Amino acid sequence: MDQVIERSPIGQRGFRVQAPLVDSVSCYCKVDSSLKTVAGARKFVPGSKICIQPDINPRAHRTKNSRRERTRVPPPLLPGLPDDLAIACLIRVPRIEHNKLRLVSKRWYRLLAGNFFYSLRKSLGMAEEWVYVIKRDRDGRISWHAFDPTYQLWQPLPPVPGEYSEALGFGCAVLSGCHLYLFGGKDPIKGSMRRVIFYSARTNKWHRAPDMLRKRHFFGSCVINNCLYVAGGECEGIQRTLRAAEVYDPNKNRWSFIADMSTAMVPFIGVVYNGKWFLKGLGSHREVLSEAYTPESNTWNPINDGMIAGWRNPSICMNGNLFALDCRDGCKIRVYDEATNSWNRFIDSKLHLGSSRALEAAALVPVNGKLCIIRNNMSISMVDVSSPDKHVESNHHLWENIAGKGHFRTLFTNLWSSIAGRNGLKSHIVHCQVLQA
């Protein structure tokens, strides 16, 4: 750094020497912020002197650059369009293509993984419902599949996490419409679990959730007001059958105990009807028990009426009505009549498939306003239950059979499957849920 000599008259005799002007970029303190001494700096900038601007921040230029990067305008979602119009286009893309959209860019991935994108789809009536089926094969391994009823295609899914790959008696429920929870169950080696995980249809990934308060397997579960309730079941120890019940609130991300059941029970069927949770199962001495839980009063009450007497699995509450199947293959449906306290025949497809375990109806779920029947061979029937007075024979759209993965068989193969019985079953459905995205 050379001195700058400025010629100016000072009484006509001398010169005024101006202090060297220090460029913050060339100042030695900018060479390397880790250099603490002048000697260290001179190795890189020969002849450098102590900075005459000691208040210079060595990271000033870095801060300026990083601030510039943070305030840089991100690229548009779609070139040539404002982001609001781009989002209006993207929300109309069918759900079957969303996995591809996530791969386009980081901005697209963040958009599809957030709540805003799917909230718009739901508010505009564009959200699509898929059926998720969890199966257990002959060797006890768990797999799962997603079915798109619009295109009638099965979709690939990320593998079930290892702790549930061979678990028994675990629960399955859906919260917030798009999160599928697996909870509790019995590990073949470690025994009963408190573990809770959930799959997000928006990110297509599995996540952890807080563990349950009690270990349990083969218990009852339901969802009321977007809160997950579990009750009863079994656990290793002296008190094998449980009375304890608890609830998970996703808004608080916390489990809490609720009132214990009147008696210990291992439920095998449950449903939410008229704001109450009905459970039916086996007691400590293998006697059949039934109870109803009322969330408002946090109380359990024994139930023994016409509904419980004729109640069969699977069942579902839809449009305020309680439906159950009246035959093994699910081709007959019954409805509960509260006025007469009895179950009545509701609708019959007149197309019966057989009574084998492979053709047995394993689940009832609501899909796009229709009742969806899923069988162990992955065949599906969609039933319009909004018009019970119409005859299926003259209105074929009321009962639609979808082949899916397990195609409907011929009369010969149905007969052979019935003769083979349960021994010929390769896999069976454990849980079935519907996720919206």
| CB-CB neighbours of 32 under 10 Å | 13
Pairing of strands 321-325, 129-137: unpaired
Q: Which fold has domain 158-304?
A: Neuraminidase (2.120.10)
Tokens 């179950």 sit on residue: 343
How far apart (Å, rounded) are the C-alpha atoms in residues 325 and 311? 9
Task: Sketch the domain layout of the chain as residue ranges.
Answer: 4-70, 83-123, 131-155+312-437, 158-304
Q: What's the whole-model pTM score?
A: 0.79
pLDDT less than 70: residues of the chain? 1-71, 238, 388-396, 403-425
Q: What is the pLDDT of residue 425?
A: 60
Tokens 């024979």 sit on residue: 393
Q: How far apart are the first and last CA of the chain?
A: 66
Joined tokens for residue 173? 């429920």
Nearest alpha-carbon partner for 355 in 426, 405, 427, 425: 425
How far apart (Å, rounded) are the C-alpha atoms in residues 212 and 75? 44
Contact, 262 vs 301, CB < 8 A? yes
Q: What is the pLDDT of residue 398?
A: 85
Q: What is the pLDDT of residue 393?
A: 54
pLDDT digits (tens, 9 = 90+) for 89-105: 999 999 999 999 999 99
Q: What is the pLDDT of residue 38?
A: 47
Angle at 198 between CA 196 and CA 200, to 5 degrees: 170
Contact, 177 vs 128, CB < 8 A? no
DSSP label of 61: H
Q: What is the pLDDT of residue 159?
A: 94
Measured in whole angstroms, the distance separating CA 335 from the mean position of its chain's CA atoms is 30
How far apart (Å, rounded) are the C-alpha atoms in residues 279 and 287? 14
Residues listed for the chain:
437
pLDDT digits (tens, 9 = 90+) for 304-352: 888 998 898 899 999 999 999 999 999 999 999 999 999 999 988 888 8
Q: Which whole-number Å values give the CA distances from 398 to 153, 354, 404, in the listed order?
A: 21, 21, 18
Tokens 């208040």 sit on residue: 55
131-155+312-437 and 158-304 in the same fold:
no
Please say whether the structural domain 131-155+312-437 has been given the CATH code 2.40.10.480: yes
Nearest alpha-carbon partner for 344 in 314, 380, 307, 317: 307
Joined tokens for residue 262? 């009147």
Q: Which whole-number Å values give the CA distances from 71 to 6, 63, 111, 216, 287, in the listed order?
A: 43, 12, 19, 51, 68
